[in-house]
Amino acid sequence: MAISDVQEYIHLSDEQIEELGRELDAIRAEIEESRGADDAAYINRMIKIQRRLAAAGRITLFASKYKPAFFAGAAMLGVAKILENMEIGHNVMHGQWDWMNDPEIHSSNWEWDTAQPAEQWKHSHNYVHHQFTNVLGHDNDIGYGVLRMAREQKWHPMNIGQPVYNALLATLFQWGVALHDLDLEAIRKGRKDPKEMKRQLKQIRRKVSKQLSKDYVVYPLLSGPAWLSTMKANAVANLMRNLWSYMIIFCGHFPDGALHFTEEELEDETRPEWYLRQMLGSANFDGGPLLHILSGNLGFQIEHHLYPDLPSNRYAEISVKVKDICRRYDIPYTTGPLHKQYGQALRTIIKLSLPNGMTTDDTPIDPTPVRERRRLTDKERQPRRTEMGAWSTRRTA
Amino acid sequence: MTTLHPGPDLSERRHDLRHGVPVPFASDTHAGYAVDHRRTPTEPADLGAVVKARAIQCALSRVCGLCGMSMSGTTTFLGSVMDAESNTFAFPPMHPHCVDFALDTYPALGVPVLGQDLVRREWVVVETGGFELERPSGRGEPVLFHPNSITSSTVVAAPPAG
Find the distance separating the first CA and the last CA of chain A, reported in whole Å.
Answer: 36
Residues in A 191-220 with any Cβ partner in B closer than 8 A: 191-193, 195-196
CB atoms within 10 A of CB B71: 25
What ipTM was assigned to the predicted interfaces of this complex? 0.89
Query: What pLDDT digit, counting tens, does each position of B5-18 carry?
Result: 567 888 778 888 88
Burial track A68-92 (b if 16+ CB lie within 10 A, e otherwise): ebbebbbbbbbbbbbbbbbbbbbbb
User: What pLDDT is recorded for position A372?
Assistant: 44
Cα Rg of chain A (Å, integer): 23
Measured between beta carbons, the chain B residues lying within 8 angstroms of A109 are: 72-73
Question: In angstroms, rounded to a whole number, what is the distance separating the alpha carbons of residues A335 and A332?
Answer: 9
Measured between beta carbons, the chain B residues lying within 8 angstroms of A130 are: 60
Using the predicted structure, report yes or no on whether residue A384 has a pLDDT greater than 70: no
Cβ contact, residue pair A268, B36, below 8 Å:
no
Question: In angstroms, rounded to a whole number, what is the distance separating the alpha carbons of residues A16 and A10?
Answer: 11
Using the predicted structure, report yes or no on whether residue A64 has a pLDDT greater than 70: yes
The strand pairing partners of B152, in sequence order, are B127
Query: What pLDDT digit, counting tens, does each position of A79-137 carry?
Result: 999 999 999 999 999 999 999 999 999 999 999 999 999 999 999 999 999 999 888 88
Strands, E assignment, B13-130: 15-16, 21-22, 75-79, 122-128
Helix, strand counts (H, E) of chain B? 3, 7
Cβ contact, residue pair B60, A106, below 8 Å:
no
Residue of B nearest to A98 (CA): B130
Encoded amino acid at B83, one letter? D
Q: Where are chain A's structural domains?
A: 3-35+118-358
Measured between beta carbons, the chain B residues lying within 8 angstroms of A308 are: 60
Out of A98, A128, A270, closest to residue B130 by CB: A98
User: Which is more confident, A6 or A331?
Assistant: A331
What mean pLDDT do residues B54-76 have?
94
User: What pLDDT is recorded for position A11?
Assistant: 83
Q: Where are chain B's structural domains?
A: 15-157
DSSP character at residue A103:
S
Query: What is the percent of chain B where pLDDT is above 90?
Result: 68
User: What pLDDT is recorded for position B101?
Assistant: 95
Residue of B nearest to A33 (CA): B148
Cβ contact, residue pair B136, A270, below 8 Å:
yes
Measured between beta carbons, the chain A residues lying within 8 angstroms of B86 are: 394-395, 397
Q: Rounded to a whole number, what is the distance in Å from the CA of B63 to chain A's nearest CA?
A: 9
Encoded amino acid at B53, one letter? A
CA distances to A138, A151, A180, A250, A352 from A156, in Å: 19, 12, 21, 22, 10
Cβ contact, residue pair B149, A99, below 8 Å:
yes
Name the range with the highest mean pLDDT among A187-191, A269-273, B70-74, B122-126: B122-126
User: Which is more confident, A193 or A110?
Assistant: A110
Find the distance separating the first CA and the last CA of chain B, reported in whole Å.
Answer: 34
Residue of A nearest to B133 (CA): A309
Query: What pLDDT digit, counting tens, does each position of A338-360 carry?
Result: 999 999 999 999 999 999 998 88
Using the predicted structure, report yes or no on whether residue A319 has a pLDDT greater than 50: yes
Question: In angstroms, rounded to a whole number, what is the distance separating the alpha carbons of residues A225 and A234?
Answer: 15
- Is the Cα torsion angle B74, B79, B84, B87 positive or negative in sign? negative
Asked if A384 has any chain B CB less than 8 Å from its own CB, the reply is: no
What mean pLDDT do residues A263-290 have?
87
Question: In angstroms, rounded to a whole number, what is the distance separating the alpha carbons of residues A52 and A46?
Answer: 10
Question: In angstroms, rounded to a whole number, what is the distance separating the alpha carbons of residues A311 and A316?
Answer: 11
Pairing of strands B144-147, B15-16: unpaired
Asked if A391 has any chain B CB less than 8 Å from its own CB, the reply is: yes
Question: In angstroms, rounded to a whole number, what is the distance separating the alpha carbons of residues A97 and B102?
Answer: 28
Between A47-51, A57-61, B49-53, the lowest mean confidence (pLDDT) is in B49-53
User: What pLDDT is recorded for position A371?
Assistant: 40
DSSP character at residue A144:
G
CB atoms within 10 A of CB A365: 5
Confidence of residue B139 (pLDDT cuts 50, 70, 90): confident
Q: Rounded to a whole number, what is the distance in Å from the CA of B161 to chain A's nearest CA?
A: 21
What mean pLDDT do residues A288-301 have?
98
User: Which is more confident, B77 or B15?
Assistant: B77
Strands, E assignment, B21-101: 21-22, 75-79
Encoded amino acid at B67, one letter? C
Query: What pLDDT digit, counting tens, does each position of B26-62 carry?
Result: 999 877 766 666 666 666 788 999 999 899 999 999 9
User: What pLDDT is recorded for position A75?
Assistant: 98
What mean pLDDT do residues A306-324 have?
98
User: What pLDDT is recorded for position A145?
Assistant: 82
Cβ contact, residue pair B37, A196, below 8 Å:
yes
Cβ contact, residue pair A193, B37, below 8 Å:
yes
CB B135 within 8 A of CB A271: yes
What mean pLDDT do residues A278-300 have?
96
Question: In angstroms, rounded to a whole number, what is the distance separating the alpha carbons of residues A62 and A221?
Answer: 10
Out of B57, B138, B148, closest to residue A99 by CB: B148
Between A246-260, B38-52, B76-90, the lowest mean confidence (pLDDT) is in B38-52
Mean per-residue pLDDT over chain A, rounded: 89
Query: What pLDDT digit, counting tens, does each position of A363-375 carry?
Result: 765 544 434 444 4
Asked if A394 has any chain B CB less than 8 Å from its own CB, the reply is: yes
CA angle A224, A228, A232 (to 5 degrees): 130
Using the predicted structure, report yes or no on whether residue B85 has a pLDDT greater than 60: yes
pTM: 0.89
